[in-house]
Amino acid sequence: MKLRLHILRSILLLFALFPVSLLADRIVLRNGAILNGQIINQNQGSVVIRTRQGVQTISKATIARIQYGDFPDPEEERQKEEERRKEAERKRQEELRQQEIRRQQEQQRREEAERQRNENQEEEPQDQSRPDAGFFSWLPEFSFSRVLWDPDLGLHRMRAGLSVGTVNNDWLGVSPIRMFRQVDSLFGNSQVFSQAKLETRNGWHSTADLEYGINRYFVALQFSVSRQNGEANVFRAGAQRDLFIDSVLTTFGNLTEPGVLSNDRMRWEEGRLLLGYQILYGDGPELDFFAGFNRSLSLADLDYAGLTSFDQNPDQQYRLYIVRSFANMKGWEAGLRGTIELPSKWVPDNYQTYLPVVEWEGAYLSMKGTHHFSYIPVGFSLLYGARGRTGASTIDFEGTGGRGQIGFKFELPSDFSLHVGGYGSTVLLKTHKLYNENDDADIQSALRAQIFPIFLGGLFTTKEVHRGTYLRIQWERRF
């Protein structure tokens, strides 16, 4: 008898301690409240439920519905969500700790290299008799063996970057095409042609670069694609020669033609292959020398559209001058690049880790190549229909210029960095040869095609100007 009583008490105690959520029923009240627990009794008028807050008796008049089964306990769900947040925070703190460990290891490596460098300097006594030794103290101690190979520098270095930005370029083909139209209008038709500066818009670029270094030497590859549009006002006026139309000599008199130049597709594809050598490196200023090859392929569609009126003829003409053009340039370049650390006293101690590094680049450029454009002047007359002719010109250019870049580098976690800045380049191109051709049977046009290259080649000197901004994400690691 005592044994049965003991077993009964154990069973009651087990049910009392058994988690409510494992045998949870649910009561939904008419006011929207929800009770989770174990229904232990009910009759026609009320329901008795055991919840975490205790045993409650609920009138069936206030109950919307009763659900039997295992439903999640909101308190347990809240606890599980809290545990998930704590686990995510723990992982984030662990990642920060690992990043700090890597940073400390890199700092220790630099300090060890600096310590070995100082020991080598102590072993080789410096000439204190030089009055300018203090001024050049930031330069590394010269050693011929270290010039070729520095054992304190990491063996390999990888760098990869991707950047986007805006561009506002002056294309080399706009000026020669404008000059060609001015000369052709003046000497061929006794007309004056003027064109305003091409106003560019919607310019953008995307650039990818990859660099591999071994000790003090590196090779870099860069590829960039740029696009922009543009528009300019044009005007043509002068005498219009008489024409035989349907065997009748037709007089036009003087013409006026306001119009618009539209450039809806201007594209550059540029590449650079550079070989370089690290002159200065370490905790102070960094300085690299580089030299290599570059190539640029540019395409443009220039569409002139104008409405022509005559003072001695009621006719009006809608005239198009369609130009399809490309330029293929290549050359070499050589220059310097580097970084300069800003003084830490410029910012409070708490923000020194966010202080950027100034990065810069300057290079000398030598370019040569070919610019080709074909044109189709077409006139749509209200009285006499349409007529036109075709032609093409090719210009060989060669010239020199320079390129520059300046920006800021911000360190990011996991060997990444953010770079923000601007760049620009200018190359002055002189005409080397000019080839002019057309398929018009007019003797006057044929003579112009032969005379232009001889006497007017020097007028087609032009320049290519690039301006832009960049926002680059870069990854770099030494190993």
- The per-residue pLDDT for 243 is 73
- The per-residue pLDDT for 358 is 95
- The per-residue pLDDT for 133 is 46
**Tokens standing for 115?**
């310590």
C-alpha of 48 from chain center? 69
Which residues, in sequence order, are CB contacts of 407 under 8 Å at separation 6+? Answer: 358, 359, 360, 419, 420, 421, 422, 470
Whole-model pTM: value is 0.66
- The per-residue pLDDT for 132 is 47
- The per-residue pLDDT for 84 is 85
Q: CA 249, CA 155: separation in Å to the nearest integer?
A: 83
- The per-residue pLDDT for 207 is 97
Q: What are the average pLDDT values for consecutive 10-residue runs of the chain, which has 479 residues?
A: 50 45 71 83 85 83 79 70 85 85 81 75 51 49 72 85 96 88 81 91 94 94 96 92 73 89 91 95 88 96 91 86 93 96 82 88 96 86 65 87 96 93 95 68 53 61 93 92
- The per-residue pLDDT for 446 is 53
Exposure string (b/e) for 294-333, b if CB count within 10 Å is 16 or more? bebebbbebbbebebebeebebebbbbbbbbbebebebeb
